[in-house]
């Protein structure tokens, strides 16, 4: 992998990740852009104890542009985009309309391929590995920013999820706090460790799932399963079998095998609902340990956390979506229409 860092016309950082070491990236952003002005701020809810990012400047972000005006495609002639070069393998850049900025963190866009009409599931294993390397490198780089406590790499796919740009891409949020979801996991981790005399909760969950009926696929270094209490109609958790706290902890064997396993999972998701159905909308979310102090979680060390990816869709059956209505949105109590055992069975049925 070759990494080349440059700057866009408004001062935002852009990084090319290339498969070939002899690739030269010297294209200049020719757009007449002024420096980005953001109004992002993080406000803490005193009752719930969580945080909300207020970012009014995002109201003006690009919304469903036609394909020939996509800002994530390479620049061609006088059609100038966010990527100055006329081609790329993988590219990452600071979001022009970030939810988090400055002392409130940072947001980046990850373009998986220059092919506007592709999807992650259609990438080659070599290209998917390059994306993994980019996620890992950005996690490392962002973790050193003084305002950053946790790094979250994710992909939103599909208009049903709320995606406003059709080009295959994901995002990285670098939060200035430990997210509420992660804090819940850390509290459960601490309580289980205390109650069992030191047993790791993530290890116990993985062992129990691998011995059960909800395993979707398993390889030498990775395991994918539908969790016992899945929140979403089709939800898969992907774990490396050797517990590590973040993407940086993966060894070469796990990195090499990841594209095979992950691409197979994504392709199965597209086959869940049968032939002729539109691509399955999904969210793919990497859970990594925070880089900040864990003093609020007594007895828990950073290495106790287990890196894992959650992949889920809001489609519950053909032509029908799972909406977060009263119980889910109002009280955070999910109601799942698809039994996790049946979801796992279906995901095994649609294997390549």
Cα–Cα distance, 179 to 128 (Å, whole number): 27
Q: What is the mean pLDDT of residues 5-27?
A: 97
pTM comes to: 0.96
Q: Quick one: tokens of 6?
A: 């440059």
Q: Which tokens sit at 249?
A: 């902890």
Q: What is the mean pLDDT of residues 21-35?
A: 95
Neighbouring-strand partners of residue 222:
240
Q: Residue ranges of the alpha helices (H) in the chain?
A: 125-143, 180-196, 201-210, 252-269, 331, 340-349
Active-site residue among 57, 144, 169, 308? 169
Please determine, for residue 50, whether its predicted confidence score (pLDDT) is greater than 80.
Answer: yes
Q: State the Cα–Cα distance between residues 346 and 235, nearest whole angstrom.
A: 12
Q: How far apart are CA 277 and CA 256, in angstroms?
A: 32
Sign of the four-CA dihedral 197, 200, 205, 211: negative
Residue 340 token pair: 């996790």
Note the pLDDT tens digit of each residue in 272-294: 999 888 999 999 999 999 998 89
Give residue 67's pLDDT: 81
Q: Is the pLDDT score of 60 beyond 70?
A: no
Q: Which domains does the chain have, with CATH numbers?
A: 2-175 (3.30.428.10), 180-349 (3.30.428.10)
pLDDT tens digits for range 321-352: 999 999 999 999 999 999 999 999 999 999 97
SS3 state at 38: coil
Judge whether 49 and 29 are in contact, CB under 8 Å. no
Task: Give the mean pLDDT of 246-258.
Answer: 98
Q: Answer whether residue 34 shows pLDDT above 90.
A: no
Q: Which helix (H) or strand (E) holds 109?
A: strand 106-111
Residues 312 and 282 sit within 8 Å (Cβ to Cβ): yes
User: CB neighbours of 144 closer than 8 A, spacing ≥ 6?
Assistant: none
DSSP per residue, 197-261: TS--HHHHHHHHHHTSS-EEEE-SSEEEE--TT-SSSEEEEEEESS--SSGGG--HHHHHHHHHH
Q: Which residues contact 3 (CB under 8 A, 6 or more apart)?
A: 15, 16, 17, 18, 137
51 and 72 Cβ atoms separated by less than 8 Å:
no
First and final C-alpha spacing in the chain: 29
Distance, CA of 131 to CA of 136 (rounded, Å): 9
Which position has the higher pLDDT, 62 or 219?
A: 219
pLDDT digits (tens, 9 = 90+) for 303-325: 999 999 999 999 999 999 999 99
CA-only gyration radius of the chain, Å: 20
Q: What is the pLDDT of residues 122-145, one digit of tens each?
A: 999 999 999 999 999 999 999 999
Least-confidence region, from 29-38, 140-149, 211-220, 223-232: 29-38
What is the distance between the alpha carbons of residues 253 and 248, in angstroms, rounded to a whole number? 13
Determine whether 169 is an active site residue. yes
Q: Residue 66 and residue 256: Cα distance in Å, rounded?
A: 36
CB under 8 Å to 8, separation ≥6 — which residues?
A: 14, 29, 31, 33, 82, 84, 93, 94
Spatial separation of the C-alpha atoms in residues 193 and 32, rounded to whole Å: 56
Rounded CA separation 23/153 (Å): 26
Q: Indicate the annotated binding residues.
A: 70, 73, 116, 167
Q: Average model confidence (pLDDT) for the chain?
A: 95
Residues in binding site for Zn(2+):
70, 73, 116, 167
């Amino acid at each position: 992998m070759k990494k080349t860092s440059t700057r866009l016309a408004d001062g935002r950082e852009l990084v090319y990740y290339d498969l070939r070491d002899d690739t030269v990236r010297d294209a200049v952003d020719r757009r007449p852009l002024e420096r980005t002005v953001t109004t992002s701020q993080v406000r803490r809810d005193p009752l719930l104890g969580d945080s909300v990012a207020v970012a009014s400047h995002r109201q003006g972000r690009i919304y469903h542009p036609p394909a020939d005006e996509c800002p994530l495609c390479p620049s061609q002639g006088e059609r100038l985009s966010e990527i100055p070069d006329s081609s790329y393998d993988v590219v990452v850049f600071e979001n022009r309309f970030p939810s988090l900025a400055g002392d409130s963190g940072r947001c980046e866009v990850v373009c998986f391929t220059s092919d506007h009409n592709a999807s992650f599931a259609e990438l080659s294993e070599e290209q998917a590995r390059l994306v993994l390397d980019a996620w890992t490198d950005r996690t490392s780089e962002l973790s050193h920013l003084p305002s950053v406590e946790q790094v979250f790499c994710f992909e939103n796919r599909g208009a049903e999820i709320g995606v406003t740009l059709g080009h295959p891409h994901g995002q990285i949020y670098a939060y200035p706090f430990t997210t509420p979801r992660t804090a819940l996991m850390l509290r459960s981790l601490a309580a289980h460790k205390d109650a069992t005399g030191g047993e790791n909760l993530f290890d116990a969950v993985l062992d129990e799932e691998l011995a059960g009926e909800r395993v979707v696929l398993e390889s030498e270094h990775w395991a994918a399963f539908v969790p016992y209490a899945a929140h979403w109609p089709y939800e898969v958790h992907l774990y490396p079998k050797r517990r590590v706290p973040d993407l940086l902890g993966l060894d070469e064997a796990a990195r090499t095998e990841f594209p095979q396993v992950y691409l197979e999972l994504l392709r199965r998701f597209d086959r869940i609902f049968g032939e002729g159905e539109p691509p399955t909308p999904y969210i793919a979310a990497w859970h990594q340990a925070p880089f900040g102090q864990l003093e609020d979680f007594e007895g828990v060390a950073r290495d106790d956390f287990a890196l894992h990816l959650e992949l889920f869709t809001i489609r519950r059956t053909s032509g029908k979506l799972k909406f977060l209505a009263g119980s889910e949105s109002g009280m955070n109590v999910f109601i799942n229409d698809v039994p996790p055992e049946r979801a796992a069975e279906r995901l095994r049925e649609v294997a390549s």
